[in-house]
Amino acid sequence: RSEDVMLTGDLAWRAALALDNARLYRESQQAIQARDEFLSIASHELRTPITALRLGIQRLFRIARGGAEPPWKTVAASLDGVERQGKRLTLLIDSLLDVSRLQSHHIQLDLEEVDLSGVVRDVVAQLGSVLARTHTPLSLRADTPVVGQWDRVRLEQIVTNLLDNAIKYGAQAPIEVTVALENGAAVLTLRDRGIGISPERMPFIFGRFERAVSSRHYGGLGLGLYIVRQIVELHGGTIQVESSPGKGSTFTVRLPRG
Ligand code: ADP
């Protein structure tokens, strides 16, 4: 009798172990697949600005070798392109570095008194040329100062990443950006009327290396929202998203004022 019980217990234990092994195996296969996919996306994403950079530099070389009076408009446009692609490359590499720093908890916040409204106005101004180029209208409500103890550079990163996405996935429809104070906390809202996010994708968008197949032709490493969420949480804040496919998305960041 007692042997029977032991045997049953042993069998149950073995079955549980086998199930666990199967789960671990499946998960490691999925992780390997995600890593391979990420490597191919990352190589492609890094290659694109490098190719554009080289083309711009070759154009400038040809002009310089031509000997005649340079067509200054073309020179300026090429230099502008080179600068833009260089910046894009830096941002891509910075986000890769940020992910490994966040993973190993090596990011320290440099807290100081910051006005979130001012930061948002600056970022919108910095992205002005992208808004113009993509014909995206933007309405901004960030007139009253909302001051707190935050890391200015990281705050800029949050706003830049979210606004970048709103433009990228925004289908050129108007974007609304608002900064407000609610129950003593700072609230940043970005609303776009673009492609939106399907309910099945929702749980994954803040993950590392998460890219929807449908968003692949938009470019990007799939790291932006992961970094945003980590930085928001390092500040003790929260980020929420509401979205419906084809109608658009609203991202809401709440930050305690420290
Ligand atoms: P990336 O934009 O580089 O892919 P993110 O981490 O910023 O990476 O976003 C992860 C995914 O979430 C995107 O691939 C996209 O599918 C989805 N997403 C993010 N922001 C938006 C948005 N404003 N509208 C629709 N989809 C979005």
Q: Tell me: the pLDDT tens digits for 22-50? A: 999 998 998 888 788 888 888 988 999 99
CB-ligand 1 contact for 115 (6 Å cutoff): no
What is the number of the ligand 1 atom nearest to the C-alpha of 225?
6
Residue type, 35: R
Question: Which residue, by CA, sits nearest to atom 8 of ligand 1?
Answer: 222
Does the pLDDT of residue 197 top 60, yes or no? yes
What predicted TM-score, i.e. pTM, was given to this entire model? Answer: 0.84
Pick the residue with more confidence: 232 or 210? Answer: 232
CA of 78 to the centre of ligand 1 (A): 30
Residue 210 Cβ inside 6 Å of ligand 1? The answer reads yes
State which ligand 1 atom lies nearest to the alpha carbon of 161: 7
Ligand 1 neighbourhood includes 157 CB (under 6 angstroms): no
Sign of CA dihedral 88, 140, 234, 225: negative
Q: How many CB atoms lie within 10 A of CB 125?
A: 11
**Residue 97 reports pLDDT greater than 80:** yes
Does the beta carbon of 229 sit less than 6 angstroms from any atom of ligand 1? no
> Is 217 a residue whose pLDDT tops 80?
no
> How far is 120 from 174, CA to CA, in rounded Å?
17
